Amino acid sequence: MNSPNESYLQAFTIVTIDRYYCLVREVYTLISVIRKGWFQAVLLAGVVALAVYVVVQTNAAPQSKAAVGDAAPSFQLNQLAGGQLALSDFEGKGVVLNFWASWCNPCVNELPLLNEAYKLAGIDMIAINVGEDEETVKKFVDRYELAFPIAMDREQDVKRQYRVAGLPLTVVIDEQGKLIKRHEGELTDMSDIFALTRGISDEK
């Protein structure tokens, strides 16, 4: 038969081992949670990095196609008046692209001038509205009686292709489909427009 001291020692040992086991189990659980959280954090960071890379590459890829001297990026857009309009429709002819929006004050100032140049100088022109709905664009076009074709770049894909950082932007494409001029900002008078379009209009 065990003595009281031996019984006490055995009980103490059992309790100590049990507590130690519980402590080890808790520590292991904590480590597992931390490791799981660390893994999730690394995984999330990887997903974010991949998303950023894809966005950067998606936006950067078209930018190499819009430099002066390069072939103008092709496109096909819906027209405000119905049907579709493609850059290839102007193959063998020079054409001016003007990127604009109704909320852009410099655009509002220059579009009537471009409209006059379109009617007077025989300039082929496409006014590409960036990101607006048809109702808004139609009200604007009717108000200013714009005569040139209006193309709708709702998803702003063509804007990205032509590296449009701000509005308005006017680009000139020659008969061979080469982008020969870029003008960022407002065209303030007819002489500026004729100088920009010289060589592709009747005003030589």
Q: Where are the beta strands (DSSP E) in the chain?
A: 76-79, 84-86, 95-100, 125-130, 150-153, 169-173, 179-184
Taking residues 157-172, what's their average pLDDT?
98
Residues 138-162: pLDDT tens digits? Answer: 999 999 999 999 999 999 999 999 9
- Residue 199, number of CB atoms within 10 A of its CB: 13
Q: Is the pLDDT of residue 98 over 90?
A: yes
pLDDT score recorded for residue 27: 52
Contacts with 101 (C-beta within 8 Å, 6 or more apart), sequence order: 107, 129, 130, 131, 132, 167
Residues 48-63: pLDDT tens digits? Answer: 466 545 444 444 444 4
User: Cα separation of 99 and 153, whole Å?
Assistant: 9
Q: Determine the distance from the C-alpha atom of residue 153 to the mean position of all C-alpha atoms in its chain, rounded to a whole number.
A: 12
- CATH class of the structural domain 66-197: alpha beta
Taking residues 107-118, what's their average pLDDT?
97
